[in-house]
Chains A and B, each alone.
Chain A
Amino acid sequence: MPWWLAALACLTTGVALLPLFYLGVRAAQYPAADFLAAVFSERSARLATASLALTAVVTVLCLVIGVGLAVLVTRTTLPGRRSLAVAAALPLAIPSYVAAFGWQSMNHLVSPGTTFEGFFAATVVITSVTYPYVFLPAAAALLRVDPAQEEAARALGRGPVNTFFSVTVRQAAPAITSGGLLCAIYVIADFGAVSILRVDTFTRAVFTSFSMGFDRLGGIALSSVLLVLTMVVLVVEGRFRRTSTRYATVGSGAAAPAMRLSIGRWAAPALILAWGTVLTALAVPGAALAYWAYRGVSTPGSLAEVGGAFMNSLWVAALGGAATTALAIPLAVYIARRPSRLARSLERLAYLAHSLPGVVVGLSVVMLGISVLTGLYQSMWLLVLAYCTLMLPLALGPAVAAALSAPPELEEAARALGKPTLIAYLRITLPLMAPGIGSGFLLVMLTVVKELPATLMLRPTGFDTLATRLWTYTGNESFAAAAPFAVLLVMLAAIPAWLMISRLLKEEK
């Protein structure tokens, strides 16, 4: 294992995490008293209350809906449970700000003159697109529980309902908890929906501090709080996820089909409740998008504008995808080939940025651009750097898996045939990793297309993507003009969502 691979891995991780590091540097430049005053101000207390309340309410609702649906789909004899499973996962394809646009524009149709905004509106909208993050892992975990254990409990004299609560649910609990915490992270980090629906949370305040005259100390202080908050939840989430995978490895897996509770006369209320929830989450934004998009594309000139934004989105997504993947490759090979302490630390560092609030990364890169990398400010490169920070974990996961599946014996064979290590990596390991790298690249691309806050803050003047156009038009309540962008965004976001759903369906078989 050559030293230069370790150096390269450190370098790429460093580049990707540079903005976060710089945020720390900037925070440290203020006198501690000023900084603390900004952190513990009355304003941040108000923001914290709103952020945490929204997070708590949405998370609890997501847990109730997600676990309820998962149990119905995987563990009861509910008729049509397979279609329910697919439908319940579909809201995953709706970015939160698209859902906010959908609900708001629907409200405009149904009761013109009223406004759809505030805490309650945000709760409904964000819950409707976030609960799949509980539903999918909960359903997967419930399917994984070894039926032999339930049979053992039944043979020990427990009834079916008792067995379900004392054995089945207990084992799915870590996965469910981890899903709930993921929801919490998404709510804390969400920018688009809370901004459209005008709820004053941390993310919205950070963005405002950037766009209005730029209150730097305030922005940095709020960003730091947001960052710490997300990381705390992330660490806890990681712990539960590990417990969940540990449970999954006990037992030889499901040989017999899972035990199902007979639903009997509860079928009707269960069906109404489940389909009612799922259809509300899908149909409201769906109908709004269809109606407004039809009106939108009949406006002259709109197709050219949509086409231009679409090309811009693809271009910036391809750049972001390529840069992030390039940074991920040396790190992935290093992690897979040398499970040393340094490799583990780098991996953990890289995952630290997983689902960080886009506004925090955006703000950090903006500050980097106006004070250090001044030559790059207002160029595409800073935007790409922000994408790298945000998306590195997405590209890293598949790349590490690919590097692990390429046997190191092949590298040794190449070296024994007279090739230096670098050539062995380039000609043997890299081609074998190509499918994994490719799927990571695609995932990053599609996520970049959806990304809103960092794109808004860092795009060069006059450069518009699908997401920024949607944002601008929604802000003016130009719903018809906004809708075609929303439709395209949902179509693109549906691809990774469908991959997640099909993985679940495969597991069910």
Chain B
Amino acid sequence: MSPAGDSGTLQLTGISHRYGAHQVLHNVTLECPAGTATAIVGPSGSGKTTLLRTAAGFLTPSQGQVMLDGTDITSRPAHRRSIGLVSQDGALFPHLSVGRNIGFGLPRGQRGGSRIGELLDLVSLPADYADRRPDQLSGGQRQRVALARALGRRPQIILLDEPFSALDAGLRERTRKAVQKVLRSTGTTALLVTHDQDEALSFADSVAVIQEGTLRQAGAPENIYNLPADLATARFLGEAVVLEGQVSAGWAECALGRVPLRNESPTGFVHLLLRPEQIEVTEPEQGILGLVLDADYFGHDTTAVVRLHGSQEEIRVRQLNTQPLEPGETIGLRVTGAAVAYPPGGH
């Protein structure tokens, strides 16, 4: 099932794209090594879909190159790229049955045979689904069929364009897991585009953050989340607690006390990044004092806005609901783990 050897490395080099006067991509360079999953995450309008369509061959970039295993395919038309595509709503052909949809890209000889059944089995759908019409499928099933259809030609790379965003929360997670499993088992290189940072972080071996047409950062999910390139990226990837601090000798002094640093930072005034889950709520006498201003109850946890006694800075804290927080309550706060320091003047 898997493509031969180590093939399927996609390289996007210096991609720029403009629609008229509007520049949507600025010099984006990204590599998707063979057999890995990469997620491009960014807010809507950031240019991530343009990048995907460039990889697919539907757009020719104004500048830059698309390379597949070292071969320049920038001007190769979409149908000769050995790249599969699964789009937002699956784009199943409404006038063809599931079986004929899956068979659409297969060589003539395989369309009737057992291959359709194999592909349905691969995406965990029963073989008799081949006779159904696309409008008889649920959203999740439609995406599975779209995946089976795309995998039928054994593409070296599969492009996923927000394939889960039309599904509701529970189904989205299950479908994502199923797709992940299939792609791993076939060893297909995957490039996922999404605006959902949680989806990007949980799906991919490598995450690329794109904002306003520029690649901000790329790397392993935990690196991206724990060591964001700048505060804007940090805020985009999840909730951020930002405090002012003074750095000396690898430690920072701030309203939450002395915290170790995760990154190298020059001595002096900095902005410190912490994640809400790094701040532990304790008894008042065991930590830095804070006053709960507001608390939002979410069932499994509570998010609270806390004003720190010392600096009067307001931060957001997330607390599991073993001991609920009430506005007006005074609590203690303690930092676990390390902070990231950013030079002032950024965001």
A-B contact count (CB 8 A): 60
Smallest distance from the beta carbon of A452 to chain B beta carbons, Å? Answer: 39
Asked if A216 lies at the interface with its beta carbon under 8 angstroms from chain B, I say no
Asked if A34 lies at the interface with its beta carbon under 8 angstroms from chain B, I say no
Q: Specify the main secondary structure of chain A where it touches its partner.
A: helix
Q: Specify which of B85, B94, B104, B152 is in contact with A432 (CB 8 Å cutoff).
A: B94
Q: Is the CB of A431 within 8 A of B84?
A: no
Question: Which B residues touch A42, using CB under 8 A?
Answer: none
Asked if B300 lies at the interface with its beta carbon under 8 angstroms from chain A, I say no
Interface-lining segment among B20-28, B75-83, B182-190, B268-276? B75-83
Interface-lining segment among A102-110, A206-214, A320-328, A415-423? A415-423
Q: Is the CB of A419 within 8 A of B79?
A: yes
Smallest distance from the beta carbon of B178 to chain A beta carbons, Å? Answer: 20
User: Which residue of chain B has its CB nearest to the CB of A417?
Assistant: B105
A412-B78, A414-B104, A417-B104 known; A428 vs B93 contact (CB < 8 Å): yes
User: Which residue of chain A has its CB nearest to the CB of B83?
Assistant: A416
User: Which residue of chain B has its CB nearest to the CB of A423?
Assistant: B79
Q: Is the CB of B95 within 8 A of A409?
A: no
Give per-residue flags for B78-102: 1 if the beta carbon is below 8 A from chain A beta carbons, else 0.
Answer: 1111011101010111110000000
Give per-residue flags for A136-169: 1 if the beta carbon is below 8 A from chain B beta carbons, else 0.
Answer: 0000000000000000000000000000000000
Asked if A413 lies at the interface with its beta carbon under 8 angstroms from chain B, I say yes
Q: Is the CB of B91 within 8 A of A418?
A: no
Question: Which A residues touch B95, using CB under 8 A?
Answer: 431-432
Interface bin, chain B: 20 to 34
Asked if B48 lies at the interface with its beta carbon under 8 angstroms from chain A, I say no
User: Which residue of chain A has its CB nearest to the CB of B158?
Assistant: A416
Greatest chain B CB density within 10 A among A412, A418, A427, A428 is at A418
Give per-residue flags for B132-167: 1 if the beta carbon is below 8 A from chain A beta carbons, else 0.
Answer: 000000000000001001101100000100000000
Interface bin, chain A: 10 to 19
Q: In the complex the two chains form, what is the Cα distance from A418 to B153 in whole Å? A: 8
Q: Specify which of A418, A427, A428, A431 is in contact with B79 (CB 8 Å cutoff).
A: A418
Question: Which A residues touch B80, using CB under 8 A?
Answer: 418
Q: In the complex the two chains form, what is the Cα distance from A65 to B83 in whole Å? A: 63
Question: Which B residues touch A79, using CB under 8 A?
Answer: none
Q: In the complex the two chains form, what is the Cα distance from A414 to B77 in whole Å? A: 12
Asked if A229 lies at the interface with its beta carbon under 8 angstroms from chain B, I say no
Asked if B56 lies at the interface with its beta carbon under 8 angstroms from chain A, I say yes
Q: In the complex the two chains form, what is the Cα distance from A412 to B105 in whole Å? A: 12
Question: Which A residues touch B146, using CB under 8 A?
Answer: 413
Question: Which A residues touch B84, using CB under 8 A?
Answer: 416-417
Known pairs A418-B105, A421-B79; list 18 more (Cβ under 8 Å).
A409-B91, A412-B56, A412-B58, A412-B85, A413-B92, A413-B149, A415-B58, A416-B56, A416-B79, A416-B81, A417-B84, A417-B105, A417-B150, A417-B153, A420-B79, A424-B79, A428-B93, A432-B94
- Residues on B facing A (Cβ under 8 Å): 56-58, 77-81, 83-85, 87, 89, 91-95, 104-105, 146, 149-150, 152-153, 159
- Residues on A facing B (Cβ under 8 Å): 407, 409-410, 412-421, 424, 427-428, 431-432
